Amino acid sequence: MLKKFLDVLLGEPLANEQSSHEKYNIPFGLAIMASDAISSVAYAAQEILFVLIVLGMAAYKWLTWTSFMIIGLLIVLTISYIQIIRAYPQGGGAYKVAKENLGTKAGLCAGAGLIIDYILTVAVSASAGADAIISAFSSLTQYKVTFVVTIIIVLTILNLRGISESSKIFAIPTYVFIFSMAFMIIYGLFKYFILGIHTTPMYSIPTKATEGLSIFLILRAFSSGCSALTGVEAVSNSAPNFQEPSQKNAKIVMILLSALIFFIFGGTSILAIFYTAVPIENGPTVVSQIAFGIFNKGIMYYVIQFSTAIILLMACNTAYTGFPMLMYVVGKDGFAPRQFTIRGKRLSFSYGIGALSTIACLLVIAFKADTHRLIPLYAVGVFTSFTLGQFGMVNHWRKEREKGWKKRALINGVGALVTLLTTTIILVEKFNEGAFVVVILIPIIILIQMRIKAHYNKVADHLSVSQLNLKKVNFKIKYTHIVIVPIASLNRATIGALQYAQSVSDNVIALNISTDMEAMEKLKQRWSELDTDILLIAKYSPYRAVVTPLLNYITQIAQAAGKNERITVILPEFVTHERFGEVLHNHTSFFLRENLVRHSNIIVSTFPYHLTDDAETE
């Protein structure tokens, strides 16, 4: 029943040969990759205004200049990432570039930054999507956290269904948002300039500045607005997910994505000035105020609100594409658990999707889905990876020295300096607002990755046969087996296990630990009725412990065993074939098995006794 339910929920399993059909074409690839980057514009202008509003009316003048700075950075990043796609079409993005050209630790640092960015993408985008809905329906405020967590769970299920299916589902809301925002920008400008209709702002504008203009204020606003650029790296990380020619298709999507960011971010920033949107804590968003100024409470206002909410929720999907692919590449290198390299039943990287959702939900609950509190953590990680990726590409071109390498190195060099400056600004300006958490987390993630790699190397060294002369491996070694069968009582399952044990060895011990003296005496009495020479060791446990005494006795026997002796522990376990059978039974066997396998000379075997079996015990 569980299998049928999962098949309905996640879809029928796909064969490995169907992987070529589970890749993006340009329209669907743009829909998946664009959702994070273009959705960021829904709150980027708002975050800038939150900082600049202390200047009063002058805030809108400096919003223009700050937006120009961010658009300039976007152009630099676009050109730089096109070069990364060209040089590293196999994916991995900044992690792969930094690791191969700057060293392992630099690569792990870039990877850690991206891991944090992808997790925060889900938490921030889902929370911002909830904000957009609550702007239209304020009565939903108290259910915000529950709503956001539910959305993340739904997105998880959709992504587990596979790449092609999820891309088709997410394409519609993405393009609805793009076209509705384009219509709002064009009609808003037409209404303002051609029709000359200037609406009254929803909220009063602080006419008097409460703080003076300073370079630090502008830099703080710039660092807040850089959230508009998160997501541009996803295309290079996921280049292998595109249909062939994957490199060419990834480049086209990168260019289209940057053009959309330029148009929507630039357009909303201009409209925020003309329609004098005021950033309000826990109130209507800037986009909501712009849409109200242009369409009043008409149908297009609600289209904008719902499409903004949906695209912000869908923005999580860029992370669901980038994070599993990044963890796959990191896992292939041995710096993440190997489970991240395994494709699920629908050919998606299920472990990566599950891990991303779990951590994002925990963040949403911890920060109460507050976008304004989550954003300061957001940009530091991704801009760290931007910077390391650009410096890595400079080294790449210097090493390769192919035709035109100097020009390419110059482009990435400029990108490296610009992103380094941006990272420094974001780190300094957002440090006390929460960026320090990322500064602490990145080294911790790197340390964990190094420990994982050391573990895999150690295991590989111990398992390696490279030092063995395979022709001289002796397969005729004879071991003497001491077989131990832990029993709780005398029943069909234990009798079957004892019969099997005696077929393996003549040296069999039945081991019973009882917490009830009367039950132990009853077992001894019934044992005497058996026609067997199997030794029964029955011990009373006055402190009601069973597992620990069993383990202690088995360990003592194992320690006393000779070089050519092996202890085989056979665990009787009955199978009920009922829905809750595994939940209600066999817990002792589980704990014994998990502990005994740690001993080098103990072999653990399970004897399953099926309760539906009518076969009589001989």
When computed from its CA atoms, the radius of gyration of the chain, rounded to whole angstroms, is: 31
For the stretch 2-39, pLDDT in tens is 556 555 555 555 544 444 445 778 887 787 777 767 77
- The predicted pLDDT at position 12 comes to 57
- Residues 222 and 210: their CA atoms lie apart, in Å, by 19
- Residues 215 and 472: their CA atoms lie apart, in Å, by 75
Residues 384 and 502 in one domain: no
Domain stop point among 455, 488, 503: 455
Query: By C-alpha distance, which of 533, 506, 537, 541 is closest to 524?
Result: 537
Q: What CATH number is associated with residue 603?
A: 3.40.50.620
Cβ-contact 567, 603 below 8 angstroms: yes
In-domain check, residue 578: yes
Query: By C-alpha distance, which of 314, 382, 342, 269 is closest to 169?
Result: 314
Give the least confident one: 155-164, 202-211, 408-417.
202-211
Token pair belonging to 191: 């209404």
- The predicted pLDDT at position 2 comes to 53
- Is the pLDDT assigned to residue 374 strictly greater than 60? yes
- Residues 391 and 389: their CA atoms lie apart, in Å, by 6
Work out the average pLDDT over 272-289: 81
Going along 543-586, which residue ranges are E strands?
565-575
Domains contained in the chain, number? 2
Reduced to 3 states, what is the DSSP secondary structure of residue 540? strand
Query: In percent, how much of the chain has pLDDT > 90?
Result: 14
- The predicted pLDDT at position 391 comes to 92
Check residue 432 and report its DSSP letter: I
Residues 193 and 118 in one domain: yes
Give the least confident one: 201-215, 245-259, 267-281, 467-481.
201-215
SS (H, E, C) 314-347: HCHHHHHHHHHHHHHHHHHCCCCCHHHHCCCCCC
Q: Give me the sheet containing 535-540, strands edge to edge.
A: 535-540, 508-514, 480-486, 565-575, 602-610
In-domain check, residue 617: no
Total count of residues recorded for the chain: 618
In-domain check, residue 460: no
In-domain check, residue 512: yes
Sorted by sequence, the CB contacts under 8 Å of residue 237 that are 6+ apart come out as 91, 92, 93, 94, 95, 114, 322, 325, 326
- Kindly tell me the sign of the dihedral angle through the C-alpha atoms of 302, 307, 308, 312: positive
Residues 559 and 418 in one domain: no
Cα–Cα distances in angstroms (integers) from residue 349 to residues 120, 263, 319, 336, 519, in the given order = 19, 33, 13, 13, 51
Cβ-contact 386, 122 below 8 angstroms: no
Domain stop point among 409, 439, 455: 455
Give me the amino acid identity at 86: R
Residues 38 and 113 in one domain: yes
What is the rounded average pLDDT for all residues in the chain?
81
In-domain check, residue 10: no
- The predicted pLDDT at position 16 comes to 44
- The predicted pLDDT at position 13 comes to 56
At 500, the pLDDT band (50, 70, 90 cuts) reads: very high
CA atoms within 13 A on the CB side of 533: 4
At 616, the pLDDT band (50, 70, 90 cuts) reads: very low
- Is the pLDDT assigned to residue 582 strictly greater than 70? no
Query: By C-alpha distance, which of 260, 237, 296, 280 is closest to 111?
Result: 237
For the stretch 438-469, pLDDT in tens is 889 999 999 999 999 999 898 888 877 777 78
Check residue 513 and report its DSSP letter: E
Residues 428 and 557 in one domain: no
Work out the average pLDDT over 491-501: 90
Give the least confident one: 3-12, 63-72, 175-184, 294-303.
3-12
Q: 444 or 159, which is more confident?
A: 444
Cβ-contact 125, 39 below 8 angstroms: yes
Work out the average pLDDT over 142-148: 83
Q: What CATH number is associated with residue 288?
A: 1.20.1740.10
Query: By C-alpha distance, which of 127, 151, 135, 73 is closest to 375?
Result: 127
Give the rounded distance of the alpha carbon of 470 from its chain centre.
42
Give me the amino acid identity at 222: F
In-domain check, residue 469: no
- The predicted pLDDT at position 378 comes to 66
Residues 266 and 361 in one domain: yes
Residues 280 and 411 in one domain: yes
Helix (H) or strand (E) holding 555: helix 547-560
For the stretch 522-557, pLDDT in tens is 999 999 989 888 999 998 888 778 888 889 999 888
- Residues 398 and 584: their CA atoms lie apart, in Å, by 64
- Is the pLDDT assigned to residue 1 strictly greater than 60? no
- Residues 52 and 217: their CA atoms lie apart, in Å, by 7
Give the least confident one: 70-74, 473-477, 574-578.
574-578
Give the rounded distance of the alpha carbon of 473 from its chain centre.
44
Give me the amino acid identity at 485: V
Query: By C-alpha distance, which of 371, 415, 370, 372 is closest to 394?
Result: 415
- The predicted pLDDT at position 214 comes to 79
- Is the pLDDT assigned to residue 242 strictly greater than 70? yes
- Kindly tell me the sign of the dihedral angle through the C-alpha atoms of 438, 443, 449, 452: negative
Residues 420 and 537 in one domain: no
Query: By C-alpha distance, which of 354, 288, 261, 357 is closest to 128?
Result: 288
Cβ-contact 424, 216 below 8 angstroms: no
**Domain range for residue 358?**
24-455
Work out the average pLDDT over 481-485: 91
Cβ-contact 33, 93 below 8 angstroms: no
- The predicted pLDDT at position 426 comes to 79
- Residues 275 and 293: their CA atoms lie apart, in Å, by 6
At 355, the pLDDT band (50, 70, 90 cuts) reads: very high
For the stretch 163-216, pLDDT in tens is 555 556 667 888 888 899 999 999 999 998 888 887 776 666 666 666 677 787
Domain stop point among 439, 455, 471: 455
Residues 148 and 232 in one domain: yes
- Residues 117 and 1: their CA atoms lie apart, in Å, by 38
- Residues 480 and 257: their CA atoms lie apart, in Å, by 68
- Is the pLDDT assigned to residue 310 strictly greater than 60? yes
Cβ-contact 10, 165 below 8 angstroms: no
Residues 50 and 159 in one domain: yes
By the 10 Å C-beta count (0-12 exposed, 13-18 middle, 19+ buried), 522 is classed as: middle
- Residues 144 and 369: their CA atoms lie apart, in Å, by 7
In-domain check, residue 615: no
Work out the average pLDDT over 354-362: 91
- Residues 599 and 584: their CA atoms lie apart, in Å, by 28
> Measured at the alpha carbon of residue 34, what is the angle toward residues 128 and 162, in degrees to the nearest 5?
95
Sorted by sequence, the CB contacts under 8 Å of residue 437 that are 6+ apart come out as 377
Residues 441 and 489 in one domain: no
- The predicted pLDDT at position 91 comes to 67
Work out the average pLDDT over 257-282: 84
Give the least confident one: 211-215, 263-267, 414-418, 425-429.
211-215
In-domain check, residue 466: no
Residues 417 and 494 in one domain: no
Cβ-contact 574, 493 below 8 angstroms: yes
- The predicted pLDDT at position 131 comes to 75
- The predicted pLDDT at position 618 comes to 44
At 43, the pLDDT band (50, 70, 90 cuts) reads: low
